Chains A and B, each alone.
Chain A
Amino acid sequence: MVKTKSLGYRAGMALIYILLALIALFCVIPFIHVIAASLSTPEYLASAGFILWPVKFSLDTYRYIFSTSTVFHALGNTVFITVCGTVVNMIMTVLMAYPLAHNYLPGKKVINFLVVFTMMFSGGMIPNYIIVRGLNLINSYWSVILPGAINAFNLIVLRNFFAQIPPSLEESARMDGCSEFRILVQIILPLSMASLATITLFYAVAHWNQFQQPLLYLNDSEKWPIQILLRQMVILASGAGLGDSGAMEESYVVPQQSVRMAVIVVSTVPILIVYPFLQKYFTKGVMVGSVKG
């Protein structure tokens, strides 16, 4: 492409670079602040203001939050839910997507419609709660795993991906007497690694960040994931919390500002660490998803 190099053009480009740099900075600055503050000596923090570098570096806050089992326990719960939940998600989604990728399968259209309909209409919060309670899942980890076992959107993305694999591959395996299940595991899945990775990541992040389901279904504070603990420690303890008399309220000692920051860092860092390695898949996933269902 030919480019004009007039003064106006250069000034415009400079402005664009500056604006973009500012936007990028705006996106990461809260993290930098919280990480810096949580690594500061708590006593100095009160008067430090909006710092971007630790004041008197100290790991005291982290030592403190890991000396009690609360944060550790909640993180453990989240890891457990994320790992088990994602495994359930992937098995359920793959098993359903593969048959639906075959146009000739009788009944496929009806099932497809019933799946897409759930994306437009749902029973809502209370009927969902009644079903989960009816199945005796309240206060069980299953209550935050099973109700979201298949995400209709991910299912459609995966089905579309399976459908574009040349059918001749399965045909020849079928001729050789290979069972459908073996075709799926040994031929289709190895060809779909990139898509599977993307969807696994979407499911895993969704589990890690899950808030509404544990709020509804896990009343036992022993089973709280980190997101619920975060609400208790950071938001409710800030004194501006919701004035509801929900079952969740527990008398916490109001945590210091630095403790709140450290808890935020601890709950966010796992995502920030894996992010650079997985970014490629994440963006790819969005583009796969933009292909119509």
Chain B
Amino acid sequence: MPKTASVPASAAKKHGFWAVLKKYRAFYLMLIPGILYFAIFKYGPMWGLTIAFQNYNPFQGVLGSQFVGLAHFKRFLTSPECGQLFRNTLLLAVFNLVFYFPLPIIIALMLNEVGNKWFQKIVQSLIYIPHFISWVVVVGLCYIMFNNQNGSITQLYNQLTGGQLNILMSATAFRPMIVIQMMWKEAGWGTIIFLAALAGVDVQLYDAAYIDGATNFQRLWHVTLPSIRGTVVTMFILRLGKFMDTGFDQIYNMLNAMNRDVGEVFDTYIYQLGMVAGQYSYSTAVGFFKSIIALVLVIITDRLSKNMGEDGVF
């Protein structure tokens, strides 16, 4: 960002606080709504985290409720749910990394090979669409196709095999379904960032490799992949940093009595306990715990990516 010469940065020091305020009053006035927004709706809830250390009572408010220290954290860490939530979150994250993560890269590599621009454009337009569909609709489509009474794919399967397909109410099918939905919704959209990286590869490198007698596979291995390595590493690290983010909308809508054991994650657990059962303080403590782990993960992955010579996450 170029510095403007006519307004010295040291203006703040030369003149007093009020002089600065007056000089930039238009800018500060514009900032007021935004600052109020962040103060109330972003930092307000952080202050509200104090109820994690209390037995919050809506009538006594955040200031008047009884202080109980770390009792809620202790209760959560020693409860069986703690291990279960971690296991479910971890497994979903691993499934995502193994099965979902490579997919956008592979699709981008294939799209990059396609010579026919017209075909390329059409495929791109079609695979971006699911990204704009809400999770409720994605899960809804799943219910319509797989619901065990009259789902269209269930019917087809049952007619063909004589068996009884039961995907939505099955605990074993839960994780694969979550990952497949993720693939369907986001894999196409995820190619954009890799396609941009691929577009930046110097064509001369390919020509040089060709003249040197490199096979197609060798060119892919020695030219294409090294040149998108940075993007792949950054995206991988970003995903690690978002380890705790198991989309609430998707999982909440996929959960039912039969798959709750494998499907329950932090956000759905917090919703269930806080909003449905009204245990405000305990569920806030669980959420606080989750947020801290997420923050630590982001900081670690940011360091990691800077150490590997890539851009930091921020």
Contacts and interface: CB of A to CB of B under 8 A. Distances in A.
B11 A103 contact: no
Interface residues of B, number: 112
B216 A235 contact: no
A129 interface: yes
A128 B271 CA distance: 12
A242 B44 contact: no
Contacts of B41: 128, 131, 146-147, 149
Interface in B35-67: 35, 37-38, 40-49, 51, 62
Interface in A13-48: 13, 16-17, 19-21, 23-28, 30-31, 33-34, 37, 46-48
Contacts of A251: none
A276 B125 contact: yes
Contact of B144 (A34, A171, A209): A34
A99 B125 contact: no
B18 interface: no
A177 interface: no
Nearest to B257: A243
Interface stretch (B78-86, B90-98, B246-254): B246-254
Given A211-B135, A234-B144, A240-B256, A122 B107 contact: no
Contacts of B184: 26-27, 30
Nearest to B147: A238
Given A104-B3, A104-B4, A242-B252, A235 B139 contact: yes
A121 B46 CA distance: 9
B70 interface: no
B129 to A, nearest CB: 6
A148 B155 CA distance: 42
Contact of A49 (B155, B248, B272, B280): B155
Given A104-B9, A163-B1, A171-B6, A34 B141 contact: yes
Contacts of A230: 136-137, 140
Nearest to A155: B34
Nearest to B189: A286
A208 B134 contact: yes
A1 B206 contact: yes
B97 to A, nearest CB: 20
A100 B24 CA distance: 12
B272 A127 contact: no
A48 B299 CA distance: 53
Contact of A17 (B119, B144, B255, B280): B119
A92 interface: yes
A205 B135 CA distance: 12
B179 interface: no
Interface string A111-125: 100111010111111
Contact of B30 (A13, A20, A96): A96
A103 to B, nearest CB: 5
A218 interface: no
Contact of B123 (A20, A47, A234, A282): A20
A56 interface: no
A186 interface: no
A95 B7 CA distance: 21
Contacts of B169: 240
A261 B206 CA distance: 49
B311 A292 contact: yes
B48 A123 contact: yes
B84 to A, nearest CB: 17
A116 to B, nearest CB: 6
13 contacts: A13-B113, A27-B127, A120-B295, A121-B291, A122-B46, A124-B290, A163-B1, A171-B4, A245-B276, A257-B150, A260-B144, A264-B140, A292-B314
The 5 A-B pairs with the shortest beta carbon distances in the complex, nearest first, are: A123-B45, A96-B34, A127-B48, A124-B287, A209-B134
